[in-house]
Copies of this chain bind each other. A is one copy, B any other.
Amino acid sequence: MIDAIVKATNIVWHNAQVTRVQREALLNQRGGTIWLTGLPSSGKSTTAYALELELFEKGFPAYVLDGDNVRHGLNKDLGFSAADRAENIRRVAETAKLFADAGIIVVTSFISPYRMERDFARRIHLEAGLCFAEIYIDTPVEVCEGRDPKGLYAKARAGKLKGFTGIDDPYEPPLAPELVCKTAEVSPREIVFRIIEFMVEEGFFREGASLLSHGRSFAGK
């Protein structure tokens, strides 16, 4: 008897799941992924954190996935072989998809040098009806090498670091990115505004969100 009641209840409650549309309504935005790609030291993390901050200040929940929070946890078991690097990006893509499904705006900050991997991330998002934008942080390798805050380019040039993207491992530039950002020519602040402008146009924010609700506005920037 109890069994029958619980079974019947199961059916009702299982049907009453929260839909993504409901979650997005609560957060007043569409879940989706801003996928940054570019050479080491091209400015991906700078852009990612600046974008997260700008979104946060307007009241839109966003979250950055990058080497700092992924390599030390979820992908701790992975090294830097070709297979492990591919698996690293696959898991990031799938995790970003989960966040996007939860209604969050995810900003991923990984070199992600191969088109095939980025195309996979795009495909799984689009198949699930989630927003996705590939943003190419297009900084000349000379500029990246000039920054080199961790001295990795220097090590790679000295042959102490093998398989370094841009030096002895290829970077495949996006063929049709949604946006190209040139950090050597445009300030991080201006780049963030351009990305948000693009996101507004692409419908990342629910209708009216850019003008209404808790004074959140991207106007006048």
Report A's interface with B, CB cutoff 8 A: 2-3, 5-7, 9-10, 13-14, 16-18, 22-23, 26-27, 43, 45-46, 49-50, 52-53, 56, 59, 61-65, 69-70, 73-74, 76-77, 87, 91, 94-95, 97-99, 101-104, 124, 143, 146-147, 149, 183-185, 187-188
Are A98 and B95 touching (Cβ within 8 A)? Answer: yes
Q: Which residues of B are found within 8 Å of A46, using beta-carbon distances?
A: 9-10, 13-14
Number of copies: 2
Closest B residue to A62 by CB, please name it.
B18
A73 proximity list for chain B (CB < 8 A): 94, 97-98, 124
- Cβ-defined contact, B49 with A103, below 8 A: no
How close is A205's CB to chain B, nearest CB, in angstroms?
A: 15
Q: If the complex has contacts A69-B101, A73-B97, A99-B102, are A50 and B184 also in contact, measured as CB distance less than 8 A?
A: no
In the bound assembly, the distance between CA atoms of A17 and B87 in angstroms comes to 27
A-B contact pairs, 17 of them (CB 8 A): A3-B143, A7-B147, A9-B46, A10-B149, A14-B49, A16-B49, A16-B53, A18-B49, A23-B61, A26-B56, A27-B61, A61-B103, A70-B98, A73-B124, A95-B98, A99-B102, A102-B104
